[in-house]
Amino acid sequence: VTPAPDVEALVDSLRLTVADPSRVSTGESIIALHAGDYGYDASRLPDVVVFPLSAEEVSAVLTCATTSRVPVVPYGAGTSGEGKTIPLQGGISLDLSRMDQIVTVHPDDFDVVVQPGVLRHALNRGLAEHGLFFPVDPGADASLGGMASTNASGTTFRQGSMRNNVLALQVVLADGTIMRTGARARKTTAGYDLTSLFVGAEGTLGVITELTLRVYGIPEHVIAARAAFPDLRAAARAAVAISNGVPSVSRLEILDGPTIAIFNDHYGTELTEAPTLFLELAGSRGMLDEDIELIVGLGEEYATTGIHFERDRTAQHQLWAARHNFGNALMVRHPGRSATATDVCVPLSVLPDAIVHARDILRERDLDAALLGHAGDGNFHFVFMLDAGDPEEIAAYKRFYREIVEYALERGGTSTAEHGVGVSKIEFLVREHGDLMPSMCAIKRALDPENILNPGKIIPAQMLEPTSA
Ligand SMILES: Cc1cc2nc3c(=O)[nH]c(=O)nc-3n(C[C@H](O)[C@H](O)[C@H](O)COP(=O)(O)OP(=O)(O)OC[C@H]3O[C@@H](n4cnc5c(N)ncnc54)[C@H](O)[C@@H]3O)c2cc1C
Protein backbone atom coordinates (compact mmCIF):
# COMPACT_ATOMS: atom_id res chain seq x y z
CA VAL A 1 0.00 0.00 0.00
CA THR A 2 1.43 3.36 -0.99
CA PRO A 3 -0.42 6.08 0.82
CA ALA A 4 -1.20 9.25 -1.13
CA PRO A 5 0.81 12.27 0.06
CA ASP A 6 -2.07 13.72 2.09
CA VAL A 7 -2.57 10.27 3.63
CA GLU A 8 1.07 10.24 4.72
CA ALA A 9 0.48 13.54 6.47
CA LEU A 10 -2.70 12.11 7.99
CA VAL A 11 -0.85 9.04 9.28
CA ASP A 12 1.78 11.32 10.84
CA SER A 13 -0.84 13.37 12.65
CA LEU A 14 -2.75 10.23 13.72
CA ARG A 15 0.47 8.87 15.22
CA LEU A 16 0.73 12.03 17.29
CA THR A 17 -2.96 11.71 18.25
CA VAL A 18 -3.01 8.25 19.85
CA ALA A 19 -0.80 7.45 22.84
CA ASP A 20 1.02 4.58 21.12
CA PRO A 21 1.93 5.15 17.43
CA SER A 22 1.99 1.39 16.80
CA ARG A 23 -1.80 1.50 17.06
CA VAL A 24 -1.84 3.43 13.78
CA SER A 25 -1.07 0.78 11.18
CA THR A 26 -0.37 0.82 7.47
CA GLY A 27 0.88 -2.78 7.56
CA GLU A 28 -0.18 -4.68 4.48
CA SER A 29 -1.94 -7.59 6.24
CA ILE A 30 -3.78 -5.32 8.71
CA ILE A 31 -4.94 -3.09 5.87
CA ALA A 32 -6.08 -6.14 3.85
CA LEU A 33 -8.07 -7.48 6.82
CA HIS A 34 -10.14 -4.29 6.87
CA ALA A 35 -10.91 -4.16 3.14
CA GLY A 36 -13.91 -6.40 2.59
CA ASP A 37 -16.77 -8.30 4.16
CA TYR A 38 -18.76 -11.50 3.64
CA GLY A 39 -20.89 -10.17 0.82
CA TYR A 40 -20.31 -9.76 -2.91
CA ASP A 41 -19.56 -6.01 -2.86
CA ALA A 42 -16.09 -5.19 -4.18
CA SER A 43 -13.56 -4.68 -1.41
CA ARG A 44 -11.39 -1.56 -1.12
CA LEU A 45 -8.30 -1.07 1.02
CA PRO A 46 -8.36 1.58 3.72
CA ASP A 47 -5.29 3.83 3.77
CA VAL A 48 -4.70 3.32 7.46
CA VAL A 49 -6.15 1.33 10.37
CA VAL A 50 -6.33 2.92 13.83
CA PHE A 51 -6.92 0.97 17.04
CA PRO A 52 -8.15 3.48 19.68
CA LEU A 53 -8.30 2.63 23.37
CA SER A 54 -10.61 5.36 24.66
CA ALA A 55 -13.41 7.77 23.70
CA GLU A 56 -10.84 10.57 23.91
CA GLU A 57 -8.67 8.86 21.30
CA VAL A 58 -11.69 8.26 19.07
CA SER A 59 -12.54 11.95 19.46
CA ALA A 60 -9.01 13.01 18.50
CA VAL A 61 -9.06 10.71 15.43
CA LEU A 62 -12.44 12.04 14.27
CA THR A 63 -11.38 15.66 14.80
CA CYS A 64 -8.32 14.98 12.69
CA ALA A 65 -10.40 13.22 10.02
CA THR A 66 -13.03 15.96 9.83
CA THR A 67 -10.34 18.64 9.54
CA SER A 68 -8.67 16.69 6.72
CA ARG A 69 -12.01 15.48 5.25
CA VAL A 70 -10.88 11.88 5.38
CA PRO A 71 -13.51 9.10 5.56
CA VAL A 72 -13.68 6.97 8.72
CA VAL A 73 -15.25 3.51 8.72
CA PRO A 74 -15.88 2.10 12.21
CA TYR A 75 -14.97 -1.58 12.44
CA GLY A 76 -16.13 -4.02 15.15
CA ALA A 77 -15.55 -7.73 14.53
CA GLY A 78 -16.10 -7.53 10.76
CA THR A 79 -18.86 -10.17 10.68
CA SER A 80 -21.47 -8.11 8.82
CA GLY A 81 -22.33 -8.11 5.11
CA GLU A 82 -23.90 -5.67 2.64
CA GLY A 83 -20.55 -3.88 2.33
CA LYS A 84 -20.99 -2.06 5.64
CA THR A 85 -17.32 -2.13 6.70
CA ILE A 86 -15.83 -1.61 3.23
CA PRO A 87 -13.95 1.71 3.05
CA LEU A 88 -15.46 2.69 -0.29
CA GLN A 89 -13.28 5.78 -0.53
CA GLY A 90 -10.25 4.54 1.41
CA GLY A 91 -9.33 6.62 4.46
CA ILE A 92 -9.35 5.35 8.05
CA SER A 93 -10.69 2.02 9.23
CA LEU A 94 -11.33 2.69 12.94
CA ASP A 95 -11.02 -0.70 14.61
CA LEU A 96 -12.71 -0.69 18.04
CA SER A 97 -11.70 -4.26 18.93
CA ARG A 98 -9.15 -3.20 21.56
CA MET A 99 -11.79 -1.28 23.53
CA ASP A 100 -12.85 -4.62 24.97
CA GLN A 101 -13.53 -4.07 28.67
CA ILE A 102 -16.68 -4.97 30.56
CA VAL A 103 -16.78 -1.73 32.57
CA THR A 104 -19.39 -2.45 35.27
CA VAL A 105 -22.00 -5.14 35.91
CA HIS A 106 -25.00 -3.96 37.95
CA PRO A 107 -26.63 -7.28 38.94
CA ASP A 108 -29.35 -5.62 41.04
CA ASP A 109 -30.35 -3.37 38.16
CA PHE A 110 -29.97 -6.03 35.45
CA ASP A 111 -27.69 -3.90 33.32
CA VAL A 112 -24.07 -3.88 32.22
CA VAL A 113 -21.77 -1.15 30.88
CA VAL A 114 -19.34 -2.31 28.17
CA GLN A 115 -16.85 -0.91 25.71
CA PRO A 116 -17.79 -1.42 22.04
CA GLY A 117 -15.15 -4.03 21.24
CA VAL A 118 -16.41 -6.55 23.82
CA LEU A 119 -17.42 -9.70 21.94
CA ARG A 120 -20.73 -11.41 22.60
CA HIS A 121 -19.27 -14.64 23.98
CA ALA A 122 -16.85 -12.75 26.25
CA LEU A 123 -19.75 -10.68 27.60
CA ASN A 124 -21.78 -13.78 28.37
CA ARG A 125 -18.78 -15.40 30.07
CA GLY A 126 -18.39 -12.27 32.23
CA LEU A 127 -22.10 -12.13 33.03
CA ALA A 128 -22.42 -15.84 33.89
CA GLU A 129 -20.66 -15.44 37.23
CA HIS A 130 -23.49 -13.07 38.21
CA GLY A 131 -26.17 -15.50 37.01
CA LEU A 132 -26.93 -13.19 34.08
CA PHE A 133 -26.82 -13.32 30.29
CA PHE A 134 -27.22 -11.03 27.29
CA PRO A 135 -29.78 -12.55 24.92
CA VAL A 136 -29.21 -11.00 21.47
CA ASP A 137 -27.56 -13.73 19.41
CA PRO A 138 -26.64 -13.22 15.76
CA GLY A 139 -24.71 -16.49 15.78
CA ALA A 140 -21.39 -14.87 14.88
CA ASP A 141 -19.14 -13.76 17.75
CA ALA A 142 -19.78 -10.11 16.92
CA SER A 143 -18.80 -7.03 18.93
CA LEU A 144 -21.42 -5.21 20.98
CA GLY A 145 -20.61 -1.93 19.18
CA GLY A 146 -21.13 -3.60 15.80
CA MET A 147 -24.28 -5.35 17.00
CA ALA A 148 -25.75 -2.06 18.20
CA SER A 149 -24.76 -0.35 14.96
CA THR A 150 -26.60 -2.97 12.89
CA ASN A 151 -29.53 -3.39 15.31
CA ALA A 152 -28.66 -7.08 15.28
CA SER A 153 -31.02 -9.76 16.50
CA GLY A 154 -30.77 -13.40 15.34
CA THR A 155 -32.06 -16.63 16.79
CA THR A 156 -33.37 -15.29 20.11
CA PHE A 157 -36.63 -13.42 19.76
CA ARG A 158 -38.38 -13.03 23.11
CA GLN A 159 -36.17 -10.16 24.33
CA GLY A 160 -36.10 -8.40 20.96
CA SER A 161 -33.27 -6.88 18.95
CA MET A 162 -30.41 -4.63 20.06
CA ARG A 163 -32.72 -1.61 19.97
CA ASN A 164 -34.83 -3.20 22.73
CA ASN A 165 -31.77 -3.88 24.86
CA VAL A 166 -29.56 -0.78 24.62
CA LEU A 167 -30.41 1.59 27.47
CA ALA A 168 -27.72 4.21 26.95
CA LEU A 169 -24.73 5.02 24.77
CA GLN A 170 -21.60 7.09 24.75
CA VAL A 171 -21.07 8.31 21.20
CA VAL A 172 -18.38 10.40 19.53
CA LEU A 173 -19.66 12.63 16.75
CA ALA A 174 -17.78 13.41 13.55
CA ASP A 175 -16.50 16.73 14.96
CA GLY A 176 -15.03 14.95 17.99
CA THR A 177 -17.81 15.81 20.47
CA ILE A 178 -18.24 13.09 23.10
CA MET A 179 -21.86 12.75 24.23
CA ARG A 180 -24.13 10.46 26.22
CA THR A 181 -27.63 9.32 25.24
CA GLY A 182 -30.32 7.57 27.31
CA ALA A 183 -29.99 6.56 30.96
CA ARG A 184 -29.54 3.46 33.12
CA ALA A 185 -33.10 3.99 34.27
CA ARG A 186 -35.59 1.55 32.73
CA LYS A 187 -37.75 4.34 31.37
CA THR A 188 -36.99 7.79 30.01
CA THR A 189 -38.91 10.20 27.83
CA ALA A 190 -36.29 12.93 28.09
CA GLY A 191 -36.37 14.41 24.61
CA TYR A 192 -35.74 12.76 21.25
CA ASP A 193 -34.63 9.14 21.45
CA LEU A 194 -31.08 9.50 20.16
CA THR A 195 -30.10 6.10 21.57
CA SER A 196 -32.43 4.46 19.06
CA LEU A 197 -31.11 6.74 16.33
CA PHE A 198 -27.51 5.56 16.76
CA VAL A 199 -28.63 1.92 17.07
CA GLY A 200 -28.77 0.65 13.49
CA ALA A 201 -26.96 3.70 12.05
CA GLU A 202 -24.12 1.49 10.71
CA GLY A 203 -21.48 3.95 11.90
CA THR A 204 -22.78 6.73 9.65
CA LEU A 205 -23.78 9.14 12.44
CA GLY A 206 -21.21 8.64 15.20
CA VAL A 207 -18.85 6.13 16.78
CA ILE A 208 -20.17 4.21 19.78
CA THR A 209 -17.55 4.13 22.54
CA GLU A 210 -19.62 2.71 25.41
CA LEU A 211 -22.93 0.87 25.75
CA THR A 212 -25.27 0.26 28.68
CA LEU A 213 -27.18 -2.95 28.01
CA ARG A 214 -30.15 -4.65 29.60
CA VAL A 215 -29.30 -8.16 30.86
CA TYR A 216 -31.41 -11.07 32.10
CA GLY A 217 -31.27 -13.88 34.65
CA ILE A 218 -30.01 -17.20 33.30
CA PRO A 219 -33.13 -19.37 33.01
CA GLU A 220 -33.58 -22.21 35.46
CA HIS A 221 -34.21 -24.82 32.75
CA VAL A 222 -33.66 -24.98 29.02
CA ILE A 223 -34.99 -27.58 26.59
CA ALA A 224 -34.29 -27.79 22.86
CA ALA A 225 -36.69 -29.35 20.38
CA ARG A 226 -36.92 -30.29 16.72
CA ALA A 227 -40.19 -30.79 14.88
CA ALA A 228 -40.49 -31.98 11.25
CA PHE A 229 -43.50 -31.26 9.02
CA PRO A 230 -44.83 -32.66 5.74
CA ASP A 231 -44.55 -29.34 3.90
CA LEU A 232 -43.15 -25.85 4.26
CA ARG A 233 -46.48 -24.11 4.77
CA ALA A 234 -47.41 -26.46 7.61
CA ALA A 235 -44.05 -25.86 9.29
CA ALA A 236 -44.40 -22.09 8.96
CA ARG A 237 -47.98 -22.13 10.23
CA ALA A 238 -46.91 -24.21 13.22
CA ALA A 239 -44.11 -21.69 13.85
CA VAL A 240 -46.58 -18.80 13.92
CA ALA A 241 -48.88 -20.67 16.29
CA ILE A 242 -45.98 -21.56 18.60
CA SER A 243 -44.57 -18.03 18.53
CA ASN A 244 -47.95 -16.59 19.49
CA GLY A 245 -49.05 -19.27 21.92
CA VAL A 246 -46.10 -20.78 23.77
CA PRO A 247 -44.60 -18.26 26.21
CA SER A 248 -41.36 -20.07 27.10
CA VAL A 249 -40.17 -20.45 23.50
CA SER A 250 -37.06 -18.29 23.24
CA ARG A 251 -35.72 -19.45 19.86
CA LEU A 252 -37.77 -20.60 16.90
CA GLU A 253 -36.02 -21.28 13.63
CA ILE A 254 -37.30 -22.74 10.36
CA LEU A 255 -35.23 -24.71 7.85
CA ASP A 256 -36.67 -26.46 4.81
CA GLY A 257 -36.00 -29.90 3.37
CA PRO A 258 -33.16 -28.97 0.97
CA THR A 259 -31.49 -27.01 3.78
CA ILE A 260 -31.75 -29.94 6.21
CA ALA A 261 -30.18 -32.15 3.51
CA ILE A 262 -27.12 -29.85 3.41
CA PHE A 263 -27.15 -29.78 7.22
CA ASN A 264 -27.05 -33.60 7.39
CA ASP A 265 -24.37 -33.82 4.76
CA HIS A 266 -22.15 -31.26 6.49
CA TYR A 267 -22.58 -32.30 10.11
CA GLY A 268 -23.14 -36.03 9.60
CA THR A 269 -26.54 -35.83 11.29
CA GLU A 270 -29.54 -37.93 10.26
CA LEU A 271 -32.40 -35.46 10.59
CA THR A 272 -35.51 -36.10 8.51
CA GLU A 273 -35.01 -34.14 5.29
CA ALA A 274 -38.26 -32.20 5.62
CA PRO A 275 -39.26 -28.69 6.70
CA THR A 276 -38.19 -28.49 10.33
CA LEU A 277 -38.49 -26.14 13.29
CA PHE A 278 -35.62 -25.82 15.77
CA LEU A 279 -36.90 -24.56 19.12
CA GLU A 280 -35.55 -23.58 22.49
CA LEU A 281 -37.73 -23.31 25.59
CA ALA A 282 -36.45 -21.48 28.68
CA GLY A 283 -38.06 -21.01 32.08
CA SER A 284 -39.02 -22.87 35.23
CA ARG A 285 -39.53 -26.64 35.14
CA GLY A 286 -43.28 -26.32 35.66
CA MET A 287 -43.60 -23.77 32.88
CA LEU A 288 -41.61 -25.94 30.46
CA ASP A 289 -43.66 -29.03 31.28
CA GLU A 290 -46.83 -27.14 30.40
CA ASP A 291 -45.32 -25.68 27.24
CA ILE A 292 -44.09 -29.08 26.02
CA GLU A 293 -47.73 -30.18 26.09
CA LEU A 294 -48.71 -27.09 24.12
CA ILE A 295 -46.02 -27.73 21.49
CA VAL A 296 -47.03 -31.37 21.11
CA GLY A 297 -50.64 -30.26 20.63
CA LEU A 298 -49.75 -27.58 18.08
CA GLY A 299 -47.40 -29.97 16.30
CA GLU A 300 -50.25 -32.46 15.88
CA GLU A 301 -52.58 -29.71 14.66
CA TYR A 302 -50.14 -28.99 11.83
CA ALA A 303 -49.49 -32.68 11.11
CA THR A 304 -45.95 -32.95 12.47
CA THR A 305 -44.14 -36.09 11.39
CA GLY A 306 -42.07 -36.13 14.57
CA ILE A 307 -41.06 -33.98 17.53
CA HIS A 308 -37.88 -34.63 19.48
CA PHE A 309 -37.16 -32.88 22.81
CA GLU A 310 -33.57 -32.62 24.01
CA ARG A 311 -32.82 -32.04 27.71
CA ASP A 312 -29.09 -32.76 27.64
CA ARG A 313 -27.17 -29.45 27.68
CA THR A 314 -24.27 -30.73 25.56
CA ALA A 315 -26.61 -32.05 22.87
CA GLN A 316 -28.52 -28.73 22.95
CA HIS A 317 -25.30 -26.77 22.49
CA GLN A 318 -24.32 -29.03 19.58
CA LEU A 319 -27.67 -28.44 17.86
CA TRP A 320 -27.53 -24.65 18.21
CA ALA A 321 -23.82 -24.47 17.41
CA ALA A 322 -24.56 -26.39 14.19
CA ARG A 323 -27.43 -24.01 13.39
CA HIS A 324 -25.31 -20.93 14.13
CA ASN A 325 -22.33 -22.22 12.18
CA PHE A 326 -24.49 -23.17 9.22
CA GLY A 327 -23.60 -19.94 7.36
CA ASN A 328 -19.91 -20.70 7.85
CA ALA A 329 -20.55 -24.30 6.78
CA LEU A 330 -21.99 -23.02 3.48
CA MET A 331 -18.87 -20.89 2.99
CA VAL A 332 -16.63 -23.91 3.57
CA ARG A 333 -18.68 -25.93 1.05
CA HIS A 334 -18.44 -23.17 -1.57
CA PRO A 335 -14.91 -21.80 -1.34
CA GLY A 336 -14.33 -18.56 -3.19
CA ARG A 337 -18.03 -17.68 -3.19
CA SER A 338 -19.68 -14.91 -1.16
CA ALA A 339 -22.46 -15.66 1.32
CA THR A 340 -25.33 -13.28 0.68
CA ALA A 341 -28.67 -13.46 2.46
CA THR A 342 -32.05 -11.92 1.87
CA ASP A 343 -33.47 -10.42 5.07
CA VAL A 344 -37.17 -9.81 4.51
CA CYS A 345 -39.44 -9.68 7.56
CA VAL A 346 -43.24 -9.82 7.48
CA PRO A 347 -46.06 -9.71 10.03
CA LEU A 348 -46.27 -13.19 11.57
CA SER A 349 -49.57 -14.10 9.93
CA VAL A 350 -48.00 -13.49 6.49
CA LEU A 351 -44.93 -15.66 7.13
CA PRO A 352 -46.23 -19.01 5.76
CA ASP A 353 -47.34 -17.50 2.44
CA ALA A 354 -44.21 -15.35 2.16
CA ILE A 355 -41.81 -18.26 2.62
CA VAL A 356 -43.72 -20.54 0.26
CA HIS A 357 -43.93 -17.74 -2.34
CA ALA A 358 -40.16 -17.20 -2.13
CA ARG A 359 -39.31 -20.93 -2.31
CA ASP A 360 -41.64 -21.34 -5.33
CA ILE A 361 -39.77 -18.61 -7.23
CA LEU A 362 -36.44 -20.24 -6.44
CA ARG A 363 -37.75 -23.62 -7.62
CA GLU A 364 -39.19 -22.18 -10.86
CA ARG A 365 -35.87 -20.50 -11.69
CA ASP A 366 -33.71 -23.36 -10.49
CA LEU A 367 -31.87 -21.05 -8.08
CA ASP A 368 -29.94 -22.60 -5.22
CA ALA A 369 -30.39 -21.04 -1.76
CA ALA A 370 -30.71 -22.35 1.79
CA LEU A 371 -33.61 -21.27 4.01
CA LEU A 372 -32.66 -20.11 7.49
CA GLY A 373 -35.64 -18.34 9.02
CA HIS A 374 -36.00 -16.63 12.37
CA ALA A 375 -39.63 -17.75 12.29
CA GLY A 376 -40.50 -16.39 15.72
CA ASP A 377 -39.97 -12.87 14.35
CA GLY A 378 -41.42 -13.39 10.85
CA ASN A 379 -37.90 -12.89 9.45
CA PHE A 380 -36.40 -15.31 6.92
CA HIS A 381 -33.12 -15.52 5.08
CA PHE A 382 -32.48 -17.29 1.81
CA VAL A 383 -28.71 -17.68 1.78
CA PHE A 384 -27.07 -17.63 -1.66
CA MET A 385 -23.44 -18.53 -2.29
CA LEU A 386 -22.65 -16.11 -5.09
CA ASP A 387 -19.78 -15.84 -7.50
CA ALA A 388 -19.00 -12.13 -7.09
CA GLY A 389 -17.45 -12.12 -10.56
CA ASP A 390 -20.58 -13.42 -12.30
CA PRO A 391 -22.96 -10.54 -13.12
CA GLU A 392 -25.73 -12.96 -14.13
CA GLU A 393 -25.71 -14.68 -10.74
CA ILE A 394 -25.80 -11.32 -8.96
CA ALA A 395 -28.60 -10.11 -11.23
CA ALA A 396 -30.67 -13.27 -10.59
CA TYR A 397 -30.20 -12.85 -6.83
CA LYS A 398 -31.20 -9.18 -6.98
CA ARG A 399 -34.24 -9.89 -9.13
CA PHE A 400 -35.38 -12.51 -6.62
CA TYR A 401 -34.75 -10.16 -3.67
CA ARG A 402 -36.64 -7.33 -5.40
CA GLU A 403 -39.65 -9.61 -5.87
CA ILE A 404 -39.79 -10.82 -2.29
CA VAL A 405 -39.31 -7.25 -1.04
CA GLU A 406 -42.32 -6.14 -3.11
CA TYR A 407 -44.31 -9.05 -1.71
CA ALA A 408 -43.33 -8.12 1.85
CA LEU A 409 -43.92 -4.37 1.46
CA GLU A 410 -47.41 -4.95 0.06
CA ARG A 411 -48.23 -6.90 3.23
CA GLY A 412 -46.77 -4.62 5.88
CA GLY A 413 -43.25 -6.06 5.95
CA THR A 414 -39.75 -4.68 5.55
CA SER A 415 -36.82 -5.28 3.22
CA THR A 416 -34.31 -5.78 6.03
CA ALA A 417 -35.00 -6.95 9.57
CA GLU A 418 -31.53 -7.23 11.06
CA HIS A 419 -28.74 -7.15 8.49
CA GLY A 420 -29.11 -3.48 7.63
CA VAL A 421 -28.61 -1.51 4.45
CA GLY A 422 -24.88 -0.99 3.85
CA VAL A 423 -24.28 -0.54 0.15
CA SER A 424 -26.13 -3.42 -1.42
CA LYS A 425 -29.56 -2.80 0.11
CA ILE A 426 -29.74 0.96 -0.57
CA GLU A 427 -32.14 0.39 -3.47
CA PHE A 428 -34.50 -1.48 -1.14
CA LEU A 429 -34.32 1.24 1.50
CA VAL A 430 -35.24 3.87 -1.09
CA ARG A 431 -38.06 1.66 -2.34
CA GLU A 432 -39.34 1.12 1.20
CA HIS A 433 -38.84 4.57 2.70
CA GLY A 434 -38.39 6.99 -0.22
CA ASP A 435 -40.53 9.52 1.61
CA LEU A 436 -38.18 9.41 4.63
CA MET A 437 -34.96 9.96 2.71
CA PRO A 438 -35.04 13.79 3.01
CA SER A 439 -35.36 13.47 6.81
CA MET A 440 -32.59 10.87 6.94
CA CYS A 441 -30.36 13.14 4.82
CA ALA A 442 -31.10 16.09 7.13
CA ILE A 443 -30.10 14.04 10.20
CA LYS A 444 -26.92 12.88 8.47
CA ARG A 445 -25.99 16.46 7.48
CA ALA A 446 -26.67 17.75 11.00
CA LEU A 447 -24.46 15.16 12.71
CA ASP A 448 -21.80 14.66 10.05
CA PRO A 449 -21.75 17.73 7.79
CA GLU A 450 -18.56 16.69 5.96
CA ASN A 451 -19.92 13.16 5.36
CA ILE A 452 -16.80 11.51 6.75
CA LEU A 453 -18.53 8.74 8.72
CA ASN A 454 -18.90 5.56 6.67
CA PRO A 455 -19.79 7.46 3.47
CA GLY A 456 -21.79 5.63 0.80
CA LYS A 457 -23.69 3.49 3.33
CA ILE A 458 -27.47 3.73 3.96
CA ILE A 459 -27.87 7.06 2.13
CA PRO A 460 -27.03 7.24 -1.58
CA ALA A 461 -24.09 9.65 -2.11
CA GLN A 462 -26.00 11.76 -4.63
CA MET A 463 -28.74 12.52 -2.08
CA LEU A 464 -26.15 14.26 0.12
CA GLU A 465 -24.75 16.42 -2.65
CA PRO A 466 -25.39 20.15 -2.06
CA THR A 467 -27.59 20.48 -5.18
CA SER A 468 -30.11 18.02 -3.76
CA ALA A 469 -30.28 19.84 -0.39
C1 LIG B 1 -22.35 -16.80 10.11
C2 LIG B 1 -23.02 -15.48 10.38
C3 LIG B 1 -24.33 -15.47 10.83
C4 LIG B 1 -24.97 -14.25 11.09
N5 LIG B 1 -26.26 -14.28 11.54
C6 LIG B 1 -26.84 -13.11 11.90
C7 LIG B 1 -28.14 -13.10 12.46
O8 LIG B 1 -28.77 -14.14 12.61
N9 LIG B 1 -28.68 -11.92 12.85
C10 LIG B 1 -28.00 -10.73 12.70
O11 LIG B 1 -28.51 -9.68 13.10
N12 LIG B 1 -26.78 -10.70 12.12
C13 LIG B 1 -26.19 -11.84 11.72
N14 LIG B 1 -24.94 -11.83 11.17
C15 LIG B 1 -24.31 -10.54 10.82
C16 LIG B 1 -23.39 -9.92 11.88
O17 LIG B 1 -22.92 -10.87 12.82
C18 LIG B 1 -24.08 -8.76 12.59
O19 LIG B 1 -24.40 -7.76 11.66
C20 LIG B 1 -23.24 -8.13 13.71
O21 LIG B 1 -24.07 -7.25 14.41
C22 LIG B 1 -22.03 -7.35 13.21
O23 LIG B 1 -21.19 -7.04 14.33
P24 LIG B 1 -19.63 -6.79 14.11
O25 LIG B 1 -19.02 -6.51 15.43
O26 LIG B 1 -19.02 -7.87 13.33
O27 LIG B 1 -19.69 -5.44 13.28
P28 LIG B 1 -18.92 -5.03 11.96
O29 LIG B 1 -19.22 -6.00 10.87
O30 LIG B 1 -17.50 -4.79 12.25
O31 LIG B 1 -19.63 -3.63 11.65
C32 LIG B 1 -20.99 -3.57 11.34
C33 LIG B 1 -21.41 -2.11 11.13
O34 LIG B 1 -21.33 -1.42 12.37
C35 LIG B 1 -20.41 -0.32 12.28
N36 LIG B 1 -19.72 -0.29 13.58
C37 LIG B 1 -18.99 -1.27 14.15
N38 LIG B 1 -18.59 -0.88 15.39
C39 LIG B 1 -19.08 0.37 15.58
C40 LIG B 1 -19.02 1.31 16.64
N41 LIG B 1 -18.38 1.06 17.77
N42 LIG B 1 -19.63 2.53 16.48
C43 LIG B 1 -20.31 2.83 15.34
N44 LIG B 1 -20.38 1.98 14.30
C45 LIG B 1 -19.79 0.75 14.43
C46 LIG B 1 -19.53 -0.61 11.08
O47 LIG B 1 -19.06 0.57 10.47
C48 LIG B 1 -20.52 -1.33 10.17
O49 LIG B 1 -21.31 -0.39 9.49
C50 LIG B 1 -24.28 -13.03 10.89
C51 LIG B 1 -22.96 -13.06 10.43
C52 LIG B 1 -22.33 -14.26 10.18
C53 LIG B 1 -20.91 -14.24 9.70
146 CA from centroid of ligand 1 (Å): 5
Q: What share of the chain is helix, strand, coil (3-state, %, to 5)?
A: 40, 20, 40
User: CA-to-CA distance for 469 and 464, rounded, in angstroms?
Assistant: 7
Q: Give residue 327's pLDDT.
A: 84
269 contact partners, CB below 8 Å, separation of at least 6: 263, 322
366 CA from centroid of ligand 1 (Å): 31
Judge if the beta carbon of residue 454 lies within 6 A of ligand 1: yes
pTM: predicted TM-score of the whole model, two decimal places: 0.96
Convert 139-170 to b/e letters by CB count within 10 Å (16 or more is b).
bbebbbbbbbbbbbbbbbbbbebbbebbbbbb
397 CA from centroid of ligand 1 (Å): 22
- In degrees, rounded to 5, the angle at the alpha carbon of residue 14 between the alpha carbons of residues 143 and 27 is 70
83 CA from centroid of ligand 1 (Å): 11
The atom number, within ligand 1, closest to the CA of 116 reads 41
pLDDT in tens, the chain (469 residues): 344 558 889 899 999 999 999 999 999 999 999 999 888 888 999 999 999 999 999 999 999 999 999 999 999 999 999 999 999 999 999 999 999 999 999 999 999 999 999 999 999 999 999 999 999 999 999 999 999 999 999 999 899 999 999 999 999 999 999 999 999 999 999 999 999 999 999 999 999 999 999 999 999 999 999 999 999 999 999 999 999 999 999 999 999 999 999 989 988 889 999 999 999 999 999 999 999 999 999 999 999 999 999 999 999 998 888 888 888 888 888 999 998 999 999 999 999 999 999 999 999 999 999 999 999 999 999 999 999 999 999 999 999 999 999 999 999 999 999 999 999 999 999 999 999 999 999 999 999 999 999 999 999 988 998 754 4
Judge if the beta carbon of residue 145 lies within 6 A of ligand 1: yes
Judge if the beta carbon of residue 170 lies within 6 A of ligand 1: no
Question: Is-contact 229 304, C-beta < 8 A?
Answer: yes
* Residue 376 per-residue DSSP state: G
- In degrees, rounded to 5, the angle at the alpha carbon of residue 256 between the alpha carbons of residues 253 and 257 is 140
99 CA from centroid of ligand 1 (Å): 16
Q: How far is CA 147 from CA 144, 164, 238, 401, in A?
A: 5, 12, 30, 24
81 CA from centroid of ligand 1 (Å): 8
The atom number, within ligand 1, closest to the CA of 209 reads 41
Q: Give residue 253's pLDDT.
A: 96
To test ligand 1's pocket by mutation, which of 149, 178, 207 has the most ligand atoms within 8 angstroms of CB?
A: 149
249 CA from centroid of ligand 1 (Å): 25
Q: Give residue 467's pLDDT.
A: 59
Q: Give residue 39's pLDDT.
A: 84
Burial class of 356 by CB neighbour count within 10 A (0 to 12, 13 to 18, 19+): middle
User: Residue type for 352, please?
Assistant: P
- Is residue 123 classed as helix, strand or coil in its secondary structure? helix
Q: State residue 400 phi and psi, 5-degree precision.
A: -60, -45
**What Rg value do the Cα atoms of the chain yield, rounded?**
22
Q: Give residue 2's pLDDT.
A: 42
The neighbouring-strand residues paired with 434 are none
Half-sphere exposure for 342 (CA within 13 Å, toward CB): 35
The atom number, within ligand 1, closest to the CA of 331 reads 1
